């Protein structure tokens, strides 16, 4: 990604960068360390439901065996009528979370990859309904997927339509304290263009480490450039590699998170070269070392 210039930055980004420079905030503490203003920061490690071979409350039993703190749920599919919208399904998931002692960490509207929000009216109700689901399940972050058929790259008209829909949905999200997180192939500047155009704190970036690294973006600089106010949550991914053995430097990711004061969920969405259970247990243990439960 090209280094942002004054002409590409919004007024908000210019003010944020100026404030950071004045405070001398871009410092790289060692892994395990943190800036002085990090009191109360925390990390939790979750896993995406679709990585567990389940699309049901049974995903919590598998997640419990892996040892994560919670599960990121998929809102559903066209085939099951986006089942997480149904009160009985919500109750079943809440009961499973309580039974296993895990949390529902966030939700994702993954079906938008197939039924694109940018161009298919069938997806539009899902955007607004996802906010109701988040409220019912008492979660904050809603991942909106923009891959496959919903890819925004090079699609100005599709992006314009998404911006308009996000403008309509943002007040509802703000009212219940939910965040609509954009996960896509776009770079940091392109994400910020959407965020600035919508103009709501309820629209942020859902940052996928592996996808952005695969696209050739400098993920460590992007995290610092976007800042805490514009990143709601992370997917931990290094494609075919176990974490710490591939191309993503998770310790440098931690330093970047420390620099911006990020606190929140990191969801495992990696591959499983050793098989599902062994791979995800390894990834969970690795992430727990780099991203401990509390940062003092």
Helix (H, G, I), strand (E, B) or coil at 137: helix
Has this prediction a pTM greater than 0.95?
A: no
**258 near 33, Cβ under 8 Å?**
yes
Predicted local distance difference test score (pLDDT) of residue 39: 61
CB neighbours of 36 closer than 8 A, spacing ≥ 6?
none
pLDDT score for 31: 33
pLDDT average, residue stretch 49-55: 94
**Fold of the domain built from segment(s) 34-295:** TIM Barrel (3.20.20)
* 291: confidence class by pLDDT, cuts 50, 70, 90: very high
In 35-111, alpha helices (H): 59-66, 87-100
Token code pair at residue 53:
């071979």
Q: Is pLDDT above 70 for 93?
A: yes
Give pLDDT tens digits for 147-195: 999 999 999 999 999 999 999 999 999 999 999 999 999 999 999 999 9
Flag whether pLDDT at 30 surpasses 90: no
Map tokens 């959407």 to a residue.
Answer: 194
Res 20: pLDDT: 40
Lowest mean pLDDT across 21-25, 29-33, 185-189? 29-33
* Each residue's pLDDT tens digit, 98-142: 999 999 999 999 999 999 999 999 999 999 999 999 999 999 999
Q: What is the pLDDT of residue 29?
A: 31
Q: How far apart, in whole angstroms, are the C-alpha atoms of residue 55 and residue 231?
A: 27
Output b/e per residue, 263-280; b: 16+ Cβ within 10 A. Answer: ebbbbbbbbbeeeeeebb
pLDDT at 2 over 80: no
Q: Where in the chain are the domains?
A: 34-295
Q: Label residue 245 by pLDDT band (50, 70, 90).
A: very high
Long-range Cβ contact pairs of 92-101 (< 8 A, separation 24 or more)? 92/56, 92/57, 93/57, 93/60, 93/137, 94/137, 95/57, 96/57, 96/58, 96/59, 96/60, 96/61, 97/60, 97/70, 97/71, 99/60, 100/60, 100/61, 100/63, 100/64, 101/64
Q: Greater confidence, 10 or 224?
A: 224
What pLDDT is attached to residue 83?
Answer: 98
């Amino acid at each position: 990604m090209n280094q942002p210039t004054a002409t590409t930055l919004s007024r908000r980004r210019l003010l944020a960068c100026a404030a950071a420079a004045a405070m001398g905030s871009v410092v790289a503490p060692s892994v395990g360390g943190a800036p002085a203003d990090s009191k109360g920061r925390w990390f939790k490690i979750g896993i995406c439901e679709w990585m567990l071979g389940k699309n049901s409350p049974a995903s919590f039993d598998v997640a419990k065996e892996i040892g994560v703190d919670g599960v990121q749920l998929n809102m559903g599919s066209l085939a099951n009528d986006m089942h997480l919208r149904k009160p009985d399904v919500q109750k079943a998931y809440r009961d499973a979370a309580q039974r296993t002692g895990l949390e529902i960490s966030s939700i994702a509207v993954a079906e938008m990859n197939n039924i694109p929000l940018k161009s298919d009216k069938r997806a539009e109700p899902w955007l607004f309904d996802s906010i109701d689901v988040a409220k019912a399940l008492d979660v904050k972050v809603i991942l909106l997927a923009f891959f496959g058929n919903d890819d925004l790259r090079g699609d100005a008209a599709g992006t314009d339509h998404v911006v308009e829909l996000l403008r309509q949905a943002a007040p509802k999200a703000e009212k219940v304290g939910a965040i609509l997180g954009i996960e896509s192939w776009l770079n940091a500047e392109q994400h910020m263009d959407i965020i600035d155009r919508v103009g709501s704190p309820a629209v942020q970036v859902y940052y996928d480490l592996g996808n952005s690294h695969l696209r050739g973006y400098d993920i460590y600089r992007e995290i610092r450039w976007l800042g805490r106010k514009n990143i709601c949550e992370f997917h931990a991914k290094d494609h075919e590699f176990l974490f710490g053995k591939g191309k993503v430097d998770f310790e440098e990711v931690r330093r970047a998170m420390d620099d911006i004061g990020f606190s929140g969920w990191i969801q495992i969405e990696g591959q499983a070269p050793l098989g599902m259970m062994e791979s995800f247990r390894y990834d969970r243990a690795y992430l727990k070392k780099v991203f401990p439960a509390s940062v003092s």
